[in-house]
Chain A
Amino acid sequence: MRSGVPAHWLLIALPATVLLAFFVLPNALLLSASFLKSEAQQLTAEPTLDNYRFLFTRPLYLEVFLRTFAVGIAVGLIDIVLGFPLAYFLVRSRSRFKGLLIALSLAPLLASVVVRTYGWYIILNRFGFANDVLLNLGVIGERIPFMPSTGAIIIGLAHALLPYAVLTIMGSLNGVNPNLESAAMSLGANRTRTFFHVVMPLCLPGIAGGFILVFSIAISAYATPAILGGPATQVAATAIYNFIIQLLDWSLGAALAVILIVCSLLLLYAAARLGARRAAL
């Protein structure tokens, strides 16, 4: 303004510096480490593609990728199936308790994933609630361990990420005029037809956006797979943790992290193309 420096540069200088130094720089370092060779738990300066070659050829890590994606898809689908009715109900309900019901559906977000997953541990472990109930009902003859297993990871993550699906779908349902449904019904369409031909197509971007959001959080989740899974059910996040913290192999850990970043970015690009806007900037 008065001086030579435009006002907006003064405003963004500090926050942009913080983001560049502590977000862009670390990620750039990680990217470069993924192309460097590790020897005796130390990064060397020797460039190589071996880290990626290693991850993409070992059956163990192919299985990790496969499991990570299978978990992401399953969790996304479960959360859409459970989240859509809830979102539809919350948007269309005229109940006196609507505010409370919305708050209750989002309340789990206030608890850490660790806390919410602990609840599933109590239910699913060998001496847990699920086993007690099934034994008493006579469904099973002896106690079976439901965890560690991929199924337990899927249930735990579906539970942890449900509010994200509900929020995204509610956002798009809010934009669907209820009069359209009345109009379709007054023109003779029954409820099923109205639902599948009017409501669903209109909030498809919200459904797709919710799926992608849940999927992208699920494939990088650490806590739930660490608690409900085990060494035999590794996913990408737990494998990264093992490389970095236990094996001290920065190269492989970084390469796996970069693969995770690329997947997340591709997904979010797809979400943006589908019109699911996440931020009101």
Chain B
Amino acid sequence: MNARIFSARWRATSGPWALLCTVVAFVYVFSLGPILITTAVSFNQTNRSFFPPRGFSLRWWERALTPEWLDPLLFSLKLGTFTALLSTLLALPLAFALYRYRFRGREALVALTLGPLMLPTLVTGVGLLQLFQYVGWREHIGFAALLVGHVVICMPFAVRTVSISLQTLPPNLELAAASLGATPVRTLRHIVFPLIKSGLVAGAVFAFIHSFTDVNLSIFLARPGEVPITVKILGFLEFGFAPTLAAVSVITLLLPLILVAIVERVSGLGDFIYGDRRG
């Protein structure tokens, strides 16, 4: 009601609002323009990244769908999926302990949990590379090292979404279930889990996207044959700029977009973006 009066006042003197809309339109062009340009470039007929594209062809898309690019893409998908599963599995008990219990060292544990979010990812990547070399796990640099690194940097996102969904869970529910004779495992399975499922799903989605789009950590831990798509694109950018790259870029953009669209339909993600469901 008040909001309506407010916006009516804005519009009554439409000057500033119109100005704001113009500025906002400019910001959208700035924000989405380069992505749209990349998409257009991938349909070039020439072998240079012209914009506006000259002619129309799908040959760069054909080339983007050869093993040279599909392999790193599948590698990234595999890495992202394992990362999402593992980081959510690890985040669940952690978030539960932090939310439900007050104990000595809790603050330190919160700092430890948020640490990977606070420190530059690049630095963690260098540190992990050094660790793996130091303890003689050189042969594990590649998928194993990448998985460990991605789980560590993605866990804070999952802890956060699970914590948010735990806030909406009334603590009495578990007591009620227990007083009705349910075992802790049964309570967890039939009461807690269904109620925090959306938090788990959101955490897994954010973890997947963070893993799928990461460069800063991956550049240090990849090895030939075990290269995530982002690192592959980055390496290629130094040599050539054929429109193939544009097509590959669009594919890597579409995959998370489709994932988010599906999950948003099924279980909702928007609630977890601001950080407070009730806010």
Contact = CB atoms under 8 A, between A and B. Distances in A.
Interface of A: 6-8, 10-12, 14-16, 18-20, 22-27, 29-30, 33, 82-83, 85-86, 88-89, 92, 94, 99, 104-116, 118-123, 125, 127-129, 132, 159, 162-163, 167, 170-171, 174-175, 178-179, 181-182, 185, 191, 216, 219-223, 226-227, 237, 240-241, 244-245, 250, 253-254, 257, 260-261, 264-265, 268, 277-281
Contacts of A22: 128, 131, 148-149, 151-152
Interface stretch (B17-25, B56-64, B170-178, B190-198): B17-25
A108 B260 CA distance: 13
A126 to B, nearest CB: 11
B120 A110 contact: no
29 contacts: A6-B101, A7-B101, A8-B103, A10-B93, A12-B109, A14-B93, A19-B113, A19-B116, A19-B152, A22-B128, A85-B24, A86-B28, A89-B20, A107-B32, A112-B214, A114-B237, A121-B49, A122-B41, A125-B241, A162-B27, A163-B31, A174-B279, A219-B120, A223-B215, A227-B237, A265-B118, A278-B114, A281-B98, A281-B163
Given A6-B103, A108-B32, A281-B160, A226 B38 contact: no
A163 B31 CA distance: 9
Contacts of B37: 119, 122-123, 129
A229 to B, nearest CB: 12
Given A178-B6, A280-B164, A114 B215 contact: yes
Q: Name the residue among A114, A116, A123, A265 with the largest chain B CB count within 10 angstroms.
A: A114
Contacts of A107: 32, 257
B27 A82 contact: yes
A113 B93 CA distance: 32
Contacts of A260: 120, 122-123
A220 B216 contact: yes
B97 A257 contact: no
A110 B213 contact: yes
Given A27-B124, A89-B20, A179-B6, 12 more contacts: A11-B94, A18-B155, A112-B214, A116-B35, A121-B49, A171-B275, A185-B9, A241-B122, A244-B220, A245-B220, A280-B164, A281-B114
Is the interface on chain B under 10, 10 to 19, 20 to 34, or 35 or more residues? 35 or more
B246 interface: yes
Give the interface SS of chain B, mostly helix, strand, loop or mixed.
Answer: helix
Contacts, number: 283
A264 B215 CA distance: 19
A178 B48 CA distance: 51
A7 to B, nearest CB: 7
Nearest to B156: A279
Give the interface SS of chain A, mostly helix, strand, loop or mixed.
Answer: helix
Nearest to A26: B127
A116 B209 CA distance: 15
Interface in B103-127: 103, 109-110, 112-124, 126-127
Contacts of B233: 112, 114-115, 118
B152 to A, nearest CB: 5
A280 B160 contact: yes
B239 interface: no
A179 B7 CA distance: 11
A20 B237 contact: no
Given A167-B273, A241-B219, A280-B276, A220 B252 contact: no
A123 B32 CA distance: 13
Contacts of B79: none
B35 A85 contact: no
B103 A86 contact: no
A159 B28 CA distance: 11
B180 to A, nearest CB: 19
